[in-house]
Structure 1
Amino acid sequence: MPFSTNKLAKQLQPLVGRLFDAMQGDPETAATVGTRLVELHCVGATSLRATIDVLSKYLPYQPEIAAIANLPERVGLVIGAVAAGYTDKMQAFVLEQQESVSQALVRANKSVQLNLKVSEQQFEELFTYSASGIAITDLDGTVQRANAALGRILRREVEEFEGLTLADLVVEPDLPLVEIALTELVEGGKHRAEERPRMLDGDGESVRVVLAATMQRDVDDVPNKYVLMIDDDSQLTLLGGQLQYQSLHDPLTGLPNRQYLTTRMESLMHAEPEHGVTLYHLDLDAFSVITDGLGRQIGDRVLRLVAERLSTVFAEEKAMVARLEGDEFAVLVENAPTTPDVNATISRIEAELSEPVFLEGHGVAVSASVGVLPRLPVNTTPAEILRASDMTLRRAKRSGRRQWGLHDATADKQEQKEFGLAAVMPGAWENGEISVVYQPVVALGDQSAVCIEAELHWEHRDAGVITHDKCVSMAEHTGLMLPLGEWVLRQAAAEAVSHTGMLAVCLTESMANNPDLVRDVRRVLDDTGLPASRLLLGFPVHVLGSDNGEAIDNLDMIAELGCAIGARDFSGSSTEVELVRSLGVKAVRIKGRTIRPDELITHVLEDLVTFVHAAGGLVVIDPVETEEQASWWREIGADACVGPLYCPEPGVSWPVSC
């Protein structure tokens, strides 16, 4: 009985939840969705095709699953599982129908003596109205009767079948399979045989079918006829091919996806082409400017345009252009003697992408940063190659927009080591491997301690001691710096409250812009009892000069608490000088020089020191390594310094012994 629209919607609603569960868990569980569609009799000629089309457009854009890693690949796997479940259930459904028809035929034959007229009528109804093709042949394979459904499947008039043999209808290479199956029905005592041969339609084209055969016997139980049930398998085969294409291609651009690229990469690595293989890994610069400014629809059209233009650049090469994810693309080039060098290729890419295109009245163009592996390394995996290309790309992007760089194995190894340390840093902190140590800020005059500065110290079991600057760099890169910075402040304040002197804590960019910075500082002061006047917080000066972020507001409120403010990484630009004057900075930290400045630079530095003093601040030099450096910085008028001259290594606790 057919469902109404509302009832069908209620039946289909739970299947959506199964799809989401499959996206987040095991994709194979989505097979139950395909099975359920067949159970609901959603088995029209275009049902599976329409289902795959809807899912391929629907799943990738659902917010519940947008953050899933390798989203296009998982969508392909889930859709594949749906189609597999549908196909398996459909085939079982067809076989059940065939079995039902076959059993009906057998029952009709056995009951002929009781009610021949009724049996013949039932048989004729099944024969005439069955959705499956039916052919009745004699034992030598000559067709005696065929129904209209078989005519539709093989594109022939029903009358054309009369007198044809299976040798006329089955593609020659597949004929032995059918003959063996029919022989086993007669000689082997089987009740049913099934094969998937190709049959010839009226135009001589082959059609893949599912052929199920049973045998009729006469009243003396002697075999005399074959009943063949034939269903078109080409649609499922075609849909299977389409599904495979979708699982290996990006639905937006039509380019090969990451999975297809890695498969091709692995194949080329095994083949070892004579002139090697080059990989270009591209990331569009500031693509979010387009999507945020003009909308996602324009962004999608730009991505399709980039795909077309990259394909144009490499049209003369044996190359695969792929979309990895988001606004990242890759090009795998099998080099030949005529392949342009990397410089020429990058120039062509830049020229193609920078040509504006007008979309809805907007002239839009893009640029890309590119990481290049000029020759794929041997004895490695596609995953490692893509990791190397990604690291090469990131190094190129550090130089700005529209940059490119070549793979550097040494730099890769060093970065991988650093990334590995950054990845395990939270665990090291949890296990107590990271501690707070202290170093003095020393007056250049009498070498007394102006204040004590808190720093991070990591005793790594393999890498040894990891310094404060390295710890900060890794923590800032991974997002660990905010909780770690608050912990440093709390640990240092708890230590400092038992001693005299000023405590200094340098803030990173993320800490300076942290909306909760003032709250954290207030809590630490309240919990530890450290007077605000004994705490100096150093802000990165470039952050204070930025129009974005909350650093200036944080600075003002922290100053209201009574804390002293410092500015670090000071270079002396006019903007920074104005900031020092307007913000009431108490200490300015200037990067040290290893070589004595010439007369002109000396005068500039003297004027800078004089200005900072006039603004009420101290000048701290970081680092000072030799007595000679200390002497000429003292002559220029600097007040204090940090570094190995007076404290070769930070102390482990306060008070510091240097």
Structure 2
Amino acid sequence: MAEVVQRWAARLVNTDGVALPQEKLEEILTGVAHDAAAKAEAAREAASRRFTALFAGAPVGIALAGPDGDVVEANAALGRFLGRKPEELRGLELSALGFERRDQIVLADGLEEIEATDADHFVHRVQLGHADDTGVWADVTIASLPGDRPGTTYPVLMVNDANEVFDLQEALRRQSVHDSLTGLSNASRFKVQLEGAFTPSARDQVALVYLDIDGFKVINDGLGAGYADEVLRGVARKLESVFTEYDALVARLPGDGFGVLLRGQLKPQNVIKLVEDALAELAEPIYLGDAGVGVSASVGIVVRDVADGGPEDLQRAAEIALHRAKEAGKAQWMLFDPELDARDRTRYRLGAEMAGALESGEFSLVYQPTVKLDGSRRLAAVNAGLRWNHRELGELDSPEFYPLAETTGMTLALGKWLLAESLKAAARWRAEHGDAAPDVCIRLPGRLAIDPDLVRLVKEQLDRNALPAKALRLCTDSASLLDTRGEVLESLSVLADIGVKLVLTVSGSADLELIPRHELNVQHVVLSGGVVDAIDDIDDEIAVRHLDQLVTRARELGLRIGAEGVLTDEQAGRLAEHGVIAARGPFIGISVTGDHVDDLINSDAN
């Protein structure tokens, strides 16, 4: 300082207007310098105290490091966060504060980035090591402070507690991939995992199991939603307890469905064994208070190599297998069968094409002749049916497509078309052959039988074709009569009042007794099924006795008695001996076209 004072004093002595000697100037300048230094020191000490107070009292954890990255000082907040005394952290590398190796690498990369670039700070979320050997989540910021020599810097680590934020994020993440009711994976996560099972590097086999609780609506409606939820939780626990192998993932799917994904070296018998164990476990009642609720499930199973198709194919196969299990009576499993699937594809294709085929005129009428069994074999009636003239598959009879019509909702449209075209044909026969024309018998599809507009539909077609009601026979069965979805009995009563002849197909006494019980104006009954089949064996005394009882009761009710499904002339003869007056079936011909009906009418006339 003395040297600086002397230099400035010498310069001032040589300045115009300065009259003091150099020694006096040096004395004055020395005082000024000491005063300035004192003030600077005071300011530095005040700043140091402020920094110390801020460092010590900050709620944020702070660690100061030297140029080598070792901790020089740590504040109390950091000590509390890590469960250690601050002095215990001195001498540790900043990167060593990371809980796991990956956390330590993140901290080391941050220190290197701050030192090697112009970045002001480095921010990341890591786990830091706690004194109890667990990890605590923290949002860390690494920055640098100027050193006491020009050009030097010192790293500083600032730590914010991120555990609450992390826990909240984890909770939200879990909610997004787990079912809130059962705790199982949800459909979204299940789909992601299923797709992940088919990565290019995947090997071995994958199995998909779909389960649906049988009769869950009964539980829900009978016991209430709260009990139903408890049942779902119980099912979830049982499935998790069974499916513990093959990297199993159990998920709750929409409604009362569950899915299980298995991966590894699998064979169908491995998966079937687990499914049977699960069904046995589910059979044990789930107790809700004093009530033990029994649960059964229908299960669809598919097992295949990951190279054979993709997730969509696997899902489709499992859904088909589940559908077959339900159709087979529920409470059982079904393994996907590729051959059955190929046949079903053809059937489902027919179902999809049916509406267009009806519109484009691919359907036609065929008739089953009903002949008298009085020895004349004269034509008594014709039973109208449908034939599909498929452009690729050829002629398809009703049993090949009518079940699909029920599934696709086409039964009503086909029934209306059958009614309209049959009465049009009947009107033509009556115009050409007069009273020799046979009655037309139409078997009402279930959906048409319960239609509230049945009476109007029939009357409109009769009027349109100027056909007397007595030329039409409407055939139904006990299932349709007892269907609660429509006013079948009332509709049939009205139709009988306008002159339509009613025909009831019966297979036993219970069916026959529906007539007096509901006061039905039925004119004809047609014996069907086992009661007819058994008469093929002349020595079956029980079958003969059953037939005689039905015929006797029918006569008491004033009914004309026919039979369907008659195979041979001998069978027709035996039925006639016991009072059956008309029949149809292979013995006379299965089905004929409208032109053939004309031939039969002409033949009878001659």
TM-score by length of 1: 0.65
8 Å CA contact 1:651–1:657 kept in 2: the answer is no
**Distance in 2, Cα, partners of 1:614 & 1:361:** 55
The corresponding residue for 2:538 is: 598
The corresponding residue for 2:582 is: 640
The answer to whether structure 1 residue 458 and structure 2 residue 388 are counterparts is yes
1:469 to 399, 414, 436: 399
**Distance in 1, Cα, partners of 2:79 & 2:409:** 68
TM superposition shift of 1:259: 6.2
8 Å CA contact 1:620–1:639 kept in 2: the answer is yes
1:576 to 506, 511, 523: 511
Deviation string for 1:404-430 (max 9, x for gaps)? 555554434333432332234334334
**Distance in 2, Cα, partners of 1:656 & 1:123:** 115
Matched residue SS, 1:484: helix
The corresponding residue for 1:608 is: 550
**Distance in 1, Cα, partners of 2:50 & 2:385:** 92
**Distance in 2, Cα, partners of 1:119 & 1:465:** 101
Decide which moves more: 581-590 or 328-337. 328-337
Decide which moves more: 146-155 or 441-450. 146-155
The corresponding residue for 1:272 is: 204
**Distance in 1, Cα, partners of 2:317 & 2:332:** 17
**Distance in 1, Cα, partners of 2:386 & 2:56:** 86
Matched residue SS, 2:69: coil
The corresponding residue for 1:141 is: 69
The answer to whether structure 1 residue 589 and structure 2 residue 526 are counterparts is yes
The answer to whether structure 1 residue 564 and structure 2 residue 501 are counterparts is yes
Matched residue SS, 1:299: helix
8 Å CA contact 2:372–2:380 kept in 1: the answer is no
TM superposition shift of 1:296: 1.5
**Distance in 1, Cα, partners of 2:119 & 2:276:** 70
The answer to whether structure 1 residue 651 and structure 2 residue 588 are counterparts is no
The corresponding residue for 2:352 is: 423
**Distance in 1, Cα, partners of 2:133 & 2:270:** 51
AA partner of residue 344 (structure 2): E
Deviation string for 1:311-353 (max 9, x for gaps)? 556679986655444334456678999x999998787656544
| Structure 2 gaps, min length 5 | 1-42, 431-436, 601-606
The answer to whether structure 1 residue 296 and structure 2 residue 219 are counterparts is no
8 Å CA contact 2:369–2:591 kept in 1: the answer is no
8 Å CA contact 1:517–1:554 kept in 2: the answer is yes
**Structure 1 residues 488, 278: closer, same or farther in 2, change over 3 A?**
same
The corresponding residue for 1:199 is: 128
Question: In the TM superposition, what are the counterparts of 1:156-175 in structure 2 within 5 Å?
Answer: 165-171=93-99, 174-175=103-104
AA partner of residue 459 (structure 1): N
Matched residue SS, 1:586: strand
8 Å CA contact 1:545–1:576 kept in 2: the answer is no
8 Å CA contact 2:124–2:140 kept in 1: the answer is yes
TM superposition shift of 1:472: 1.6
**Distance in 1, Cα, partners of 2:587 & 2:154:** 106
**Distance in 1, Cα, partners of 2:281 & 2:73:** 64
**Distance in 2, Cα, partners of 1:623 & 1:213:** 91
**Structure 1 residues 210, 635: closer, same or farther in 2, change over 3 A?**
same
Matched residue SS, 2:442: strand
TM superposition shift of 1:248: 4.8
8 Å CA contact 1:377–1:385 kept in 2: the answer is no
**Distance in 1, Cα, partners of 2:95 & 2:301:** 58
The corresponding residue for 1:539 is: 476
**Distance in 1, Cα, partners of 2:469 & 2:148:** 109
Question: In the TM superposition, what are the counterparts of 1:478-493 in structure 2 within 5 Å?
Answer: 478-493=408-423
TM superposition shift of 1:392: 4.1
2:446 to 497, 509, 512: 509
**Distance in 1, Cα, partners of 2:596 & 2:158:** 91
**Distance in 1, Cα, partners of 2:380 & 2:493:** 24
TM superposition shift of 1:473: 1.0
AA partner of residue 552 (structure 1): L
AA partner of residue 608 (structure 1): L
8 Å CA contact 2:368–2:590 kept in 1: the answer is no
**Distance in 1, Cα, partners of 2:50 & 2:357:** 80
TM superposition shift of 1:355: 4.0
**Distance in 2, Cα, partners of 1:613 & 1:116:** 125
**Structure 1 residues 294, 345: closer, same or farther in 2, change over 3 A?**
same
CA RMSD of aligned residues (A): 4.9
Name which one, 1 or 2, has greater alpha-carbon Rg: 2
The corresponding residue for 1:285 is: 214
Deviation string for 1:121-167 (max 9, x for gaps)? 99999989998656565544355776777566545667776766414
**Distance in 2, Cα, partners of 1:355 & 1:367:** 9
Matched residue SS, 2:367: strand
**Structure 1 residues 433, 116: closer, same or farther in 2, change over 3 A?**
farther
**Distance in 2, Cα, partners of 1:233 & 1:630:** 90
8 Å CA contact 1:444–1:630 kept in 2: the answer is no
Deviation string for 1:550-609 (max 9, x for gaps)? 4333333333444322223x21x2211112444222232333657723242345435534
Question: In the TM superposition, what are the counterparts of 1:38-53 in structure 2 within 5 Å?
Answer: none
2:369 to 421, 438, 441: 441
**Distance in 1, Cα, partners of 2:452 & 2:259:** 39
8 Å CA contact 1:279–1:376 kept in 2: the answer is no
**Distance in 2, Cα, partners of 1:620 & 1:346:** 50
8 Å CA contact 2:368–2:591 kept in 1: the answer is no
The answer to whether structure 1 residue 308 and structure 2 residue 237 are counterparts is yes
2:291 to 358, 362, 367: 362
Deviation string for 1:599-629 (max 9, x for gaps)? 4234543553454355344434333455455
8 Å CA contact 2:298–2:330 kept in 1: the answer is yes
The corresponding residue for 2:23 is: none
Deviation string for 1:292-326 (max 9, x for gaps)? 11111112212222333445566799866554443
8 Å CA contact 2:253–2:259 kept in 1: the answer is yes
8 Å CA contact 1:586–1:618 kept in 2: the answer is yes
| Structure 1 gaps, min length 5 | 1-114
